[in-house]
Structure 1
Amino acid sequence: MSVEPEASGPTYHWPIPPAGGWTADDLDRLPNLPPHTELIDGSLIFVSPQTRFHMRAMRFFEWQLLSQAPDGFDVLREFTIDIDRRNRPEPDLIIAQDDDDDPVGTRLPVDKVRLAIEVVSPDSVDRDRTAKPLKYARAKIPHYWRVENVDNRAVIYVFELEPATGAYTSTGIFHDHLKVSVPFPIDLDLTEIRFKQRPAAE
Structure 2
Amino acid sequence: MATIEPKSESAADEPTTGRTVLPGAPPFTADDLLKFPDDGNRYELCNGSLLVSPAPTKLHQLVLYQLQRILDEAAPPELVLLSAVNLRVSDQDLYIPDFVVATEESLHTDELMFSPDELLLAVEVGSPSTSMRDEGLKTLAYAKAGIPGYWRIELAEEPTLYAYELTGDKYDPPAAYKAGSVAHLTTPFPVGFDPAELIRGRR
| TM superposition score normalised by structure 1 | 0.81
Q: What secondary structure sits across from 2:101 in the alignment?
A: strand
| 1:40/1:87 contact within 8 Å kept | yes
Describe how 1:167-178 pairs up with structure 2 within 5 A: 167-175=170-178, 176=180, 177-178=182-183
**Long gaps (5+) in structure 2:** 1-15
Matches within 5 A, 1:41-56: 41-56=47-62
Q: Alpha carbons of 1:110 and 1:33: their partners in 2 closer, same or farther (altered >3 Å)?
A: farther
Partner of 2:151: 145
Query: How many percent of aligned residue pairs carry the same amino acid?
Result: 27
Q: What residue identity is the alignment partner of 1:173?
A: A
Give the Cα separation in 1 of the matches to 2:197 and 2:188.
22
Query: Which has a greater percent of helix?
Result: 2
Cα distance in 2 for residues equivalent to 1:29 and 1:41: 18
The higher radius of gyration belongs to 1
SS in structure 1 of the partner of residue 72 of structure 2:
helix
Answer whether contact 1:34 1:46 (CA < 8 A) is retained. Answer: no
2:21 pairs with 1:18: no
Note if contact 1:159-1:169 (Cα within 8 Å) is conserved in structure 2.
Answer: yes
Q: Equivalent residue of 1:26, what SS?
A: helix
- Determine if contact 1:53/1:193 at 8 Å carries over to the other structure: no
| Shift in CA distance, 181/132, structure 1 to aligned 2, threshold 3 Å | same
Which residue number corresponds to residue 6 of structure 1? Answer: none
Q: Within 5 A, what are the aligned runs for 1:96-111?
A: 96-99=102-105, 100-102=107-109, 105-111=111-117
1:5 aligned residue: none
Residues 83 and 98, structure 2, Cα contact 8 Å, conserved in 1: yes
- Residues 14 and 183 (structure 1), Cα distance of their counterparts in 2 relative to 1, 3 Å cut: same
Amino acid corresponding to residue 113 of structure 1 in structure 2: L
Q: What RMSD, in angstroms, separates the aligned Cα atoms of the two structures?
A: 2.3
Dislocated runs of 4+, deviation >4 Å: none
- Structure 1 unaligned runs (5+)? 1-8, 197-202
| Secondary structure in 2 matching 1:183 | coil
Deviations 1:97-149 (A, max 9, x none): 112313x7122111101111000010002210100110111111111111002
Query: Which position in structure 2 is the counterpart of 1:3?
Result: none
User: Using a 3 Å threshold, how does the CA distance of structure 1 residues 111 and 118 change in structure 2: closer, same or farther?
Assistant: same
Give the one of 131, 139, 143 matched to 1:133: 139
